[in-house]
Each structure stands twice: as C-alpha cells, then as structure tokens.
Amino acid sequence: MNPPKPSKDKESPGSSSSSQVTFAGIKSASKKELRGGRIRAEVDINREIQNCRDEQSERFDLSKSSVTILPNTIKDLTHVRELYLYSNRIQQLPPEIGNLVNLKVLALSENSLTTLPDTMDRLVQLKVLDLRHNRFNDIPEVIYRITSLTTLYLRFNRIKEVSDTIRNLVNLQMLSLRENRIRSLPITVGQLVQLLTLDVAHNHLEHLPNEIGSCAQLTTLDLTHNELVDLPELIGNLKNLSRLLIRYNRLSTIPSSLANCSKLDEFNIEGNNVSQLPEGLLSSLVHLNTISLARNNFNSFPLGGPTQFTSVHSINMECNTIDKIPFSIFSLAKYLSKLNMRENALTSLPLDIGSWTALVELNLATNQLTIIPEDIKSLQNLEVLIMSNNQLKVSDNKVYRANLMNL
C-alpha cells in the first residue's frame, strides 16, 4: 500500500476577526515572519474544524498549510475517518487527537514530531499511520498499542531500535522502517504473520533474526544498503517472496535454502562480496526475469548450466573478474535481451555467440578482448553493442553492423 495521497476538500474562507489558533498568515504571522516576507493567506483552523463538523465530512485535510499547533477543538471531529496533516511544522499532537475514534487514516509525514500522545491508543479503528520524515529517535510506545494498524510508515526518522512489543501489531501488513539507524530487529518480528511487505533498507543491520522465516506471507523484503554479513537459513521459508532486495551489503555467501523461494522474479545481489552461489540455486528460481551479480567477487559463472537462465530477460555481471563465458551457457535463454559483462577479464567470446538471437543489448566494455567473432552478425535483434576499452584490432570494424547504435 502506498502512502496516502489525499485530494483536498475546498477550503473555507478564514475569519479575519478570529483570535483562535491560525495558520501562519497575514494577521496571525509573527513580526519575524512578516519581516521575512513569509506571509500566507489567513485560514482559521477552528473555522475549518467547524465546517468539517457541520458538513459531516469524513475527510479533513490541512496538509501543506504551515500548521504549527492543532487546537483542542480537533476533539470535535469524532466522525472523521481520514485526517491529513502532512507537510506542516507540527511538533506535537494534542491529547484530544484520541477522541477521533472513527479514524482509519492518519497522515503526519513531513512534520517535526518527536513523540505521540498516549491517548492515541483510543484510535481502535486506525489502519494507516504515516509518520515518514519526522524526528523520532525511537518508536513511540503508544504505536505498539494500536493493534488495528495494517500499514505503518516510519521512513526517514532517527530510530535506533525496534521494541520486542512490535509483536502486538498482529494485523500489520506493511511496515516501512527505511532510512533510519536501526542495527537489529527483535526476534518478535516473526510474530507479524500477516506481514506482506517489510522495508528496512538503508539502516545498519548486520544480521536478521531466524524468526523472520515465520513471516510466511511476505512478498517483499527490502534489505538494500545495510551491513548484513549473512542471511538466516530460515529465509527459505518465505515461499511467497517475489522481491528480495539485498543489494549493497557485506554478504559473502547466499543460503541454499533460498532455492525454496520459487516465486522470486528478481535475483539481485549487487554490491556484496559473493564469489559463488549454491549450485543449482538459479535453476530452482524458475520465474526469474532479472539477475544481477554485479560488483561482487565472481571469477566464473555460477554452477548450474543453461537451465539457470531459461526465463531470464536481463543479466548483469559487470565489475567482477570473470574470464570466460561458458559454451552453451545461454542455449536455453530464449528471452535473454540484455547482457552486461562490462569490467570483467574476458579474453574471448564463446563460439556459439551467434545463437544468442534474442539479444538487443550487449555490453562487453573494459575487458581484454582482441577480436569480435564473425558470428556476431547473426544477432539480428542486436541494437546496442558496447566494446570500448578492449584490445580490438582495427580490422575487426568490418563486422560492426549498420544498425548498432552504440560502440
């Protein structure tokens, strides 16, 4: 589920005589704001609240309105189901927010929140809570008591740890903790058995708990840009995974149990320290569309033969030290349209290169090739051939085809 993007209701005109809390505007602006020229249209929050109550609107939207303080009259919006307050300057919420017992969506991203009121545990119907881009150093304890939550966004805060009471959020389907400072996940994350998406990319994780294997409904697990040195064997229990993102970590091995995750359509381990894969791993992942082994320590192709690439459309092996493409390795790769072997140690190309007939783009730049095989002319679909920074003879230009776009 994507973060909520509300459509704004029509704004009501502000009251020039109101002394209540207002947005930063002509008459409510401080002298400093006036001197700075930051003058905005005056809008009376209490008037907006009154209008929402009178119209019994289920959506209340004050996003991008320079709100700094919510008045306690917010308690009157007990009928509201969706409250949008994103992109303001709110530092804290009033306790009266707990009166909005029918609330299902609460969008508070891009504010300056550091805490939440304990009264929020009264929001027993709340499904979506968006707290992206705030200033939380930890996850407020009250969040763990809002057990109705199905979607929780905490991206881009300063969170260092996740409490083991995360287990209380038994209805959670989407959890985003991306771009924080988290070093570990509690074993109780395994009790989130309804979880479909877990995004913990751009943190400082070194290990995952074995219990992650109990999140059997997971379809997306994003671990990109962490400090992982291993993956638990029980990750193979996640048989519904279609996206496993483990780029840019410190992995040197991949567990063989990953072969059980047969629904994966992408295998991307770019930017790790892997030198070989478990034999037959890629062959077991029969729905793979894209493979990237780029920027690792491979000096040869993975073991497993031609069946590894039966369904694959794109292969990226750039920035390794592979010195040979095995003969017939792509004999079953009838969908392979893009092959990137840039920055390896290739000295020659296999004799059956002419059979790679589905190729549209072939990148062989920065290797040690001295000739271009004549059979490359058989690649009727080839549009891009990149062979810069090799040791080619000038005479080999005769095999370049007129329809190649990049040399």
pLDDT (tens digit per residue) in 85-134? 999 999 999 999 999 999 999 999 999 999 999 999 999 999 999 999 99
Least confident of 177-181, 287-291, 395-399: 395-399
Selected residue with higher pLDDT from 194 and 29: 194
Mean of pLDDT over the chain = 90
The average pLDDT across 17-46 equals: 41
Q: Which pLDDT value is given to residue 2? A: 65
Q: How confident is the model at residue 44 (pLDDT cuts 50, 70, 90)?
A: confident
Q: How confident is the model at residue 158 (pLDDT cuts 50, 70, 90)?
A: very high
Question: Does residue 322 surpass a pLDDT of 70?
Answer: yes
Least confident of 27-31, 283-287, 298-302: 27-31
Pairing, β 105-107 against β 128-130: parallel
Selected residue with higher pLDDT from 16 and 268: 268
Q: Which pLDDT value is given to residue 177? A: 99
Distances (CA, A) of 406 to 178, 356, 394, 401: 38, 18, 17, 11
Selected residue with higher pLDDT from 203 and 377: 203
**Predicted structure pTM score:** 0.87
327, amino acid identity: F
Q: What percent of the chain has pLDDT over 90?
A: 85
Question: Does residue 25 surpass a pLDDT of 90?
Answer: no
What pLDDT digit, counting tens, does each position of 365-377 carry? 999 999 988 899 9
Q: Which pLDDT value is given to residue 394? A: 62
238, amino acid identity: L
Question: Does residue 395 surpass a pLDDT of 70?
Answer: no
Q: Where are the domains of the chain?
A: 278-407
* CATH of region 278-407, choose from 3.80.10.10, 3.90.230.10, 3.40.718.10, 1.10.287.3510: 3.80.10.10
Q: How confident is the model at residue 393 (pLDDT cuts 50, 70, 90)?
A: confident
Q: What percent of the chain has pLDDT over 70?
A: 86
Q: Which pLDDT value is given to residue 5? A: 59
Q: Which residues are bridge partners to 44 per DSSP?
A: 22
